[in-house]
Amino acid sequence: MYEGEVAAGERYRVGYALQPKKVETFIQPSLLHHAKQHAIDLVQIDPSTPLHQQVPFHCIIHKLHTQHWNKHLKEFSSQHPNTIIIDPPELINRLHNRVSMLDAVTHLQISLQNATVSVPLQVVVDQPESFHFDKIEELGLVFPMIAKPLAADGTSDSHQLCLVLNREGLNSFTVPTVLQEFVNHGGVVFKIYVAGQHVICVKRKSLNDITEEKLRTLKGALPFSQVSNMSVGDKDGCCGVFENAEMPPQSLVEELARGLREALGLNLFNVDLIRDGQDRGRYLVIDINYFPGYAKLPSYEPFITNFLLDLLRTKIA
Ligand SMILES: Nc1ncnc2c1ncn2[C@@H]1O[C@H](COP(=O)(O)OP(=O)(O)OP(=O)(O)O)[C@@H](O)[C@H]1O
Ligand SMILES: O=P(O)(O)O[C@H]1[C@H](O)[C@@H](O)[C@H](OP(=O)(O)O)[C@@H](OP(=O)(O)O)[C@H]1O
Ligand SMILES: [Mg+2]
Ligand SMILES: [Mg+2]
């Protein structure tokens, strides 16, 4: 029997390497319990101790951003090729940049049931002095726009966004930043959570539409962060709009999840999708996050456990 193999009646050991805050939210007793009942022991990894001293692992899941961890994991993986690494750090890196993350969508060209999936128009501003307003005008970008730090690396700074309402607002963000077309979408964002072949789409509160009238009265830039973490009760939109918002077609959700999983080579991520308020067949991906907050999903325990079981049974058969 080779290292990593499991005989009938044996158990799987899945190591997790996560920041303390993520351990607190993701590794709930209910998840540990559900996994245990399905022959999976979730074991905390100490990233400061050599991995080979913490073996055996059938699989390792992780979300740590340091180069040191990535190197550590790579070395371990080359010496223990039977341990499944979810997911390879070099592939996760693609989601740490707001341009490369959306590139994967651009190449997909999804069109289903009279609907299309694309990405908002965007431009990178990397040097304040090299930034010319003409450049964004040439691209067809108009106000309002949304400025997002180019890096999406899990730091709180990377979630500091701002609405840019007119030319004045172009001085309000730090570079490098992505300036993105703001698309009115009825204040609802669809979050598609992917764990391998398992996919769930939920709706969350989003930024409200910016009407022509608001655009006439508001000026400069409005900073904001972590909108979709607000509870539904916090929304200032009108009653019932959120509850009544129609979900995207299931076939579109599944096709997008499958396509992105293949294009990115990743198993654990979520996709923020909005529907253009002016064109109900136009969907746009605005964000992709690695190892998102699965615990916010109803029944996340079987969702994650089933994903791990599929993986372990297929790869260790
Ligand atoms: N192009 C856009 N048009 C309209 N609204 C947008 C656009 N991009 C982002 N938003 C709004 O801003 C919110 C935050 O944007 P985004 O998801 O890119 O940031 P984030 O900090 O990466 O979020 P997360 O916490 O999901 O990682 C979205 O949930 C949505 O409400
Ligand atoms: O801070 P970074 O590393 O970027 O990761 C966040 C993601 O960007 C968010 O999308 C997660 O929230 P959602 O699961 O609501 O998307 C959010 O979920 P969490 O706060 O519940 O862990 C994080 O995973
Ligand atoms: Mg988002
Ligand atoms: Mg994000």
Identity at 56, one-letter amino acid code: P
Tell me how many degrees the CA angle 48-53-56 measures, rounded to the nearest 5. 120
Q: Please indicate whether residue 25, judged by its CB atom, sits closer than 6 Å to ligand 2.
A: yes
- Ligand 1: atom nearest CA of 185 is 4
Kindly provide the ipTM of the predicted complex, given to two decimals.
Answer: 0.96
Site to probe by mutation for ligand 2, drawn from 229, 268, 286, 290 as the one with most ligand atoms within 8 Å of Cβ, is 229
- Ligand 2: atom nearest CA of 294 is 14
Q: Which two tokens stand for residue 298?
A: 């109803």
Confirm whether 12-86 and 95-296 share one CATH topology.
no
Is residue 222 over pLDDT 60?
yes
Domain ranges within the chain, ordered by starting residue = 12-86, 95-296
So what CATH class is 12-86?
Answer: alpha beta
Q: What is the pLDDT of residue 128?
A: 75
Highest mean pLDDT among 102-111, 127-136, 167-176, 281-290: 281-290
> DSSP label at 249?
P
Q: If pLDDT is split at 50, 70 and 90, which confidence band does 230 have? A: low
CA dist 259 and 227 (Å) reads 27
Is residue 91 over pLDDT 70?
yes
Residue 301 Cα to ligand 4 middle (Å): 23
Q: Which two tokens stand for residue 113?
A: 């049931």
Pocket of ligand 1 (CB under 6 A): 120, 146, 148, 152, 159, 161, 180-183, 185, 189, 206-207, 226-228, 272, 286-287, 289
- Correct CATH for 95-296 of 3.40.1190.20, 3.30.1330.10, 3.20.20.70, 3.30.470.20: 3.30.470.20
Predicted model pTM: 0.94
Q: Do residues 294 and 210 make contact, with C-beta atoms less than 8 angstroms apart?
A: no
